Amino acid sequence: MRVEAITAPKVSRSSEAALLHGRRDPASMWPAAGIALVLSWLRARVFWVLPAAATLVICLIDIGRPALWQDELATYSAARRPLLDLVRLLRHGDAVLAPYYLLLHGWIGVVGDSPTALRLPSALAMAGSAGLTAALAARLFGRWEGCVAGLTFGCLPVVSRYGQEARPYALAVLLVAGTAFLLVVAVQRQARADWVRYGLGIAALGAVQLTTLLVLVPHLLVVLVERRQVRAPTALVRSWGRTVALALLAVSPIAVVGWRQRGQISWIPPLSLAQVQALPGQVFGSSAVAELVLVVAVVGVLRFRGRTLLAASLLLVPPVLLVVLSEQVPLVRPRYLIHIVVGAAVLAAVGACALGRRAAVIFVVAVALLGLPAQVDVRSATRAGQPDYPEIAALLHAQVRPGDALVMPGSGGLRFRVGVAAYLPRRFRPEDPLLRRSALDAARLDGVECSPATCLGRPPRVWVACVDGCRTPEESLLPETREVLRREGYEVAHSWRLRGAELALEVPRVRR
C-alpha cells in the first residue's frame, strides 16, 4: 500500500512567528479593526449623525416631483448661464443672490440641471443643519438633548419645504446653526483658530442672505453674558467685535449693491397684524406643529433659564427686529425667518427631555405625525398655485405641429417662458414669434418681447396660456397681443384645463 506524501501549505515568516507566539496575523485583523473603528466613530457621533441622515432621507422623498415654481425658475434661468453672462445679469438685479447663483453654477456643471439636481444642495444643507442643531444642543445640554433637537428639526414641515427648493434659504439655515455652534466653541475655548472659523461663518452667512445677520444680536447677548464668567472678559468682547467687524466688512459690497437694488422687494406688502399672527404657522410649515414646539420650548426655558439664552434669542430676536425694520422697508416674509427653527428645536428638545426620555420620544413622534399633512402638501405637483410645467410640456409635446406659435401670458405669467423651456426640449417647442431678445442677450431672467403688431405674423396655429386664475387664456394676454389676435381672426379651436393653467389652441377663423 502506497502512502501519498502530504505537502503542508507554505506559511510566511510573519504568519509563522505569529502562530508560534499565539497571535493572529495583523493583516487578517485589518478588516475587523476597520469595522470596529467605524462603529466606534459612529457611536461617538450618533447623536448628530442620526438626525442628519434622517433629515436627508426625509428631504429626498419626492424631491423632484413638484414643478419648478416662479422663484426656482429664476434660479434655473440664472445659474445655467455662462459665467460672464451670469455676471452681466447680476449687474441688473439679484446681486444679493450672487454667491448662491455662482455656487449653483458650479454645481450644475457637475451634476446637471434637472429639478432634482437643482434642489439637492438644499437637501444636503438641511441635513447639515439638523446635524449642527444636534451638535449645538449637545454642546450646551447633553448628547441626548442634541439627538432629540436634531430629530425635531428634521421632522418640521418647513425643513422639507425649503430642503426641496432651489433657493438659498436652506443654506442660510445651515450657516445660522453653524455660526451658533462656532460661537459657543469660540467662547468656551477662546482660541484664535475658533474665532477665525466663526468669522468665516458670519461672512458666508451674510453673503447667502443678508437678513440672517440679525442673529448677530443674539450672539452679542451671549458674549455679554458669558464675559462675566471668563478670566479675560475684555479680551472676549474684543475678539468677538473684531471678528464680526471683519466679517461685515467682507460682505459690505453685497449689502451696498443689495440696497441699490431694493426695488426688487417692493412687492412685499406693508406689515399687518394678520401677517404677524400667521407667522408661526408659516415659519414652521404647520400651525399645529408650531404650537406644540413652542409650548414645549417654554418648558425648556423655564427648566434651564440662563443656559437657554442663545437658543431663546435665536428664536425670538430676529422676528422682533425684522418687524421693527419693516416699518422702514417691508421685509417680513416667512422664508426670511425660517432659520429661527434652529433655536426652537433646541429649546423644545430641552423641554421634552426635562420630562423624561420617554416623553422626548413621544414628542418627536408627535411632531412628525402633526406635520404629516403639511409634509404631503409640500410634495404636491405644484406650489403656490403655479402652473404644472411638466404637464404643460407633455401636452405641447403631444399636440404641437410644425409652424405652431406659443404666445406667452402677459398677466400672471412671470417665468412662463422659462418654465416651458425647463421641461420641453427645444426641438419640441412651438415657435416663440414675440421673443425679440433672449434672456441671455438681454441680461435678464426672462426674454424681451417685440410689438405683436409687427412680429407675430400669421402662424397656422397659436397656443395661448392662461395662468394665475384667469378666466380665459386670452384674458392673460397683454391688450396689444389680444387685439392683434382678434384682428387677424383667430378663435379658440380647443382648450385644456391643467393644474395651475389652461392652454388654448387658436386658429384663424374660416372666411366665407
Phi, psi of 225 (to 5 degrees): -75, -45
Name the residue range of residue 253's domain: 40-378
Whether residue 91 lies inside any domain: the answer is yes
- Indicate whether 188 and 260 sit together in one domain: yes
Residue 1 pLDDT > 80: no
Q: What is the mean pLDDT of residues 236-264?
A: 90
505 SS3 class: strand
Within 8 A by CB and 6+ apart from 502, the residues are 465, 466, 467, 470, 472, 473, 495, 496
Whole-number Å distance between alpha carbons of 386 and 413: 9
> What single string gives the DSSP state of each residue in 454-494?
HH----S-EEEEEETT-SSGGGGS-HHHHHHHHHTTEEEEE
pLDDT for residue 2:
39
Residue 3 pLDDT > 90: no
Whole-number Å distance between alpha carbons of 199 and 186: 10
Place of cell 422687494: 265
Which of 378, 403, 435 is the last residue before a domain boundary?
Answer: 378
Written as one letter, the residue type at 367 is V
Give the least confident one: 255-269, 368-382, 436-450: 255-269
Which of 357, 378, 399 is the last residue before a domain boundary?
Answer: 378
- Indicate whether 90 and 167 sit together in one domain: yes
Phi, psi of 510 (to 5 degrees): -70, 125
Q: What is the mean pLDDT of residues 243-255?
A: 94
Q: What is the mean pLDDT of residues 488-511?
A: 88
> What single string gives the DSSP state of each residue in 2-71?
PPPPPPPPP--HHHHHHHHTT---HHHHHHHHHHHHHHHHHHHHHHHHHHHHHHHHHHHTTTT-SPP-HH
3-state secondary structure 110-168: HHCCCHHHHHHHHHHHHHHHHHHHHHHHHHHCCHHHHHHHHHHHHHCHHHHHHHCCCCC
Residue 395 pLDDT > 90: yes
Which of 378, 410, 425 is the last residue before a domain boundary?
Answer: 378
Whole-number Å distance between alpha carbons of 341 and 105: 29
Whether residue 13 lies inside any domain: the answer is no
Q: Are 381 and 492 in contact (CB under 8 A)?
A: no
Q: What is the mean pLDDT of residues 238-253?
A: 95
Whole-number Å distance between alpha carbons of 60 and 41: 25
pLDDT for residue 78:
94
Whether residue 3 lies inside any domain: the answer is no
pLDDT for residue 488:
87
Whether residue 10 lies inside any domain: the answer is no
Specify the pairing of strand 405-407 against strand 462-467. Answer: parallel
CB neighbours of residue 7 within 10 Å:
6
Residue 20 pLDDT > 50: no
- Indicate whether 281 and 337 sit together in one domain: yes
**Could you report the per-residue pLDDT of 158-199, keeping only the tens digit for each?**
999 999 999 999 999 999 999 999 999 999 998 999 999 999
pLDDT for residue 12:
52
- Indicate whether 82 and 138 sit together in one domain: yes
Whether residue 28 lies inside any domain: the answer is no
Whether residue 12 lies inside any domain: the answer is no
pLDDT for residue 451:
83
Whether residue 2 lies inside any domain: the answer is no
- Indicate whether 340 and 457 sit together in one domain: no
pLDDT for residue 372:
97
Burial of 372 (0-12, 13-18, 19+ CB in 10 A): middle
- Indicate whether 437 and 355 sit together in one domain: no
Q: Bigger pLDDT: 386 or 124?
A: 124
- Indicate whether 122 and 192 sit together in one domain: yes
Residue 512 pLDDT > 50: no
Q: What is the mean pLDDT of residues 252-268?
A: 80
- Indicate whether 261 and 170 sit together in one domain: yes
Q: How many distinct structural domains can be found in the chain?
A: 2
Give the least confident one: 22-36, 330-344, 373-387: 22-36
- Indicate whether 444 and 309 sit together in one domain: no
- Indicate whether 240 and 307 sit together in one domain: yes
pLDDT for residue 193:
95
Residue 75 pLDDT > 90: yes
**pLDDT band per the 50, 70, 90 thresholds, residue 18:** very low
Whether residue 32 lies inside any domain: the answer is no
Within 8 A by CB and 6+ apart from 99, the residues are 168, 204, 207, 208, 254
Within 8 A by CB and 6+ apart from 458, the residues are 488, 508
- For the record, the C-alpha cell of 410 comes out as 402677459
Q: What is the mean pLDDT of residues 479-502?
A: 89
Whole-number Å distance between alpha carbons of 113 and 119: 9
Specify the pairing of strand 490-498 against strand 448-449. Answer: unpaired
Residue 72 pLDDT > 70: yes
Tell me the average pLDDT of the chain. 88
- Indicate whether 199 and 276 sit together in one domain: yes
- Indicate whether 75 and 172 sit together in one domain: yes
Q: Bigger pLDDT: 384 or 55?
A: 55
Stated pTM of the model: 0.89
CB neighbours of residue 13 within 10 Å:
7
